[in-house]
Amino acid sequence: MRKTFKLLPLVAALALTGCMSMAPSYERPQAPIVDAWPAGEAYAEAKLNQQALPDWHEFFTDERLRKVIELTLENNRDYRVAMLNVQKMRYAYNIQRSEFLPSISGVGSGEHSGTPRTLSATGQDTVSHVYSANLAMASYELDLFGRIRSLSDEALNQYFATEEARKSARVTLIAETANMWLQLGADRSLLAFAKETLDSQEKSYKLSEASYKAGAINLLELNQAKQMYASAQASYASSQRAVAQDMNALTLLVGTSVPEDLLPSKVEVVTLAGVLPKGVPSEVLLNRPDIAQAEYTLMAANADIGAARANFFPRISLIASGGTGSTELDDLFDAGTRLWSFTPSISLPIFTGGANWATLRVSETERDIAVADYEKAIQTAFREVADALATEGTIERELKATQEYADATKTAYELAQARYRHGSESFLTVLDSQRQYVSAQTQLAVAQQARAMSLVTLYKTFGGGAVDLDKKSEGEKASSVKVENEA
């Protein structure tokens, strides 16, 4: 028995170091995109001279926005679930790796039986007692053909994929928080303008009522003034609703209430810190966590093929136990009570009804699907970056033209009012110029919001910045775990 148990560590070591992997050699698929970013009048020039975008602490320059993002990373429930999923996959990997080592348990038992004299060899009623204490090794598979190693590699890559999914969720959450914060500022600007317009229309309508009673304007002009006043009331109510819904959405996104001093009161423009990352698209896009997640998923599918191939080969299992046994509990550990067993077995698949072949084909198909998903992720990322560069290449011109249009409509509205007061212009012209002015101001707020959000989109499409571990929120620090027992 001693010799048997002395050999078990050696057998385990041989199984750990000597097993082969039957998984195909992994080769990263070639990125199915061109080797240069799109260029032209519609695209921003990509000045690429650094490895990655700065982290969000540096990328977003508004201190209020940074504090709101910190609150989001600490309190958002979806992100909390993403972090817990990482922990779950980490433990799942540890469970799979535990199959490399034998499972040994202590077993103690007592068996008591009675035999009547009619069945007893002595012709007397007998009562027997058997006590035993054992160390038992459950069925332990020698991984000679790499089945367990392949399953372990699969679990490890699934863990890494989940970690990249968490990073992707982090980047998306930061971008969504910034965009919602900016949208709230834009809608508050529109609300302030709608209130200003409403006050102006109310005053204009009251003047029109007085003018109508004095006979200075006709009923048509009075109703036109009432129409503009009612429209201003509706616009103000709509703006109030938009701001309230923005606050509700931001509160849900952050996961807690946001102090008023951290909220924007008007359209804000974040500043782009740094420049775009350097390198050709196929290199830059690999920094995106969603693409890294797709590749780890592909590597997991590739490892699963090795486990499926190993099913065609024999499995060697070991079962062993050793301990003591006695008919008397007091004599259980005395000399001469030792007992042991050692049961090696080998299983060779001869006929499985095609199950092993089907399992292998499923694994290969899953790998092919993962390849297609990985390539699609790169193509989608390239398209998102191209769209972001197109926005950057045109948004400034659009904003400038919209600003000029808004300034022109304001001037036209003021001139129409002055001409109307001097009797050289009709009230209808004043109303029409005012409608154009209100519409232009709304377009300007939307364009300013698009200008700010385009920078956030750049941050997101390039996969976010490098994570500074010292700047992680407490929630993120608590979730940062390393793989235990890593191969």
The pair of structure tokens assigned to 227 is 């129409």
- In angstroms, the CA 356 to CA 353 distance is 8
Work out the burial of residue 446: count CB atoms within 10 Å of its CB; fewer than 13 is exposed, 13-18 middle, 19 or more buried: middle
- The H-or-E segment that residue 74 falls in is helix 63-75
Torsion angle of alpha carbons 241, 243, 248, 249, nearest 10°? Answer: 110
Looking from the CA of 457 toward its CB, the CA atoms found within 13 Å total 18
Nearest to 221 by CA among 438, 420, 415: 420
438 near 389, Cβ under 8 Å?
no
CA 14 to chain centre: 40
Q: Is there a contact between 229 and 204 (Cβ–Cβ < 8 Å)?
A: yes
Q: How far apart are CA 243 and CA 248, in angstroms?
A: 9
Which token pair is 252?
């849900």
Phi, psi for residue 209 in degrees, rounded to 5: -60, -45
Cβ count near 305 (within 10 Å): 21
Distance CA 250, CA 177 (A): 7
Which domains are delineated in the chain?
Answer: 18-100+146-309+362-479 (1.20.1600.10)
Instruction: For the chain of 487 residues, list the mean pLDDT of each consecutive stretch of 10.
Output: 46 52 90 84 65 75 92 95 93 90 85 82 81 84 90 94 94 93 93 92 88 85 87 94 96 95 83 58 82 95 94 90 81 80 89 92 96 95 89 88 93 89 80 87 89 85 62 45 40
Q: What value does the CA radius of gyration of the chain take, rounded to a whole number of Å?
A: 37
Rounded distance, CA 178 to CA 249, Å? 12
pLDDT for residue 307: 93
Distance CA 75, CA 68 (A): 11
Using DSSP's 3-state secondary structure scheme, residue 129 falls into strand
Q: Mark residue 346 as left, alpha or beta (left: phi above 0; alpha: psi -120 to 50; beta: remaining).
A: beta
295 vs 303: CA distance, rounded Å: 12
3-state class of 62 per DSSP?
coil
Structure tokens at 14: 């041989």
Q: How far apart are CA 74 and CA 170, in angstroms?
A: 11
What's the confidence (pLDDT) of residue 19?
59
pTM: 0.81
What lies within 8 Å, CB to CB, of 8 at 6+ separation is 102, 137, 318, 320
Q: Residue 457: helix, strand or coil by DSSP?
A: helix
Contact 291, 199 (CB under 8 A): no
Contact predicate 465/459, CB 8 Å = yes
DSSP state of 277: B
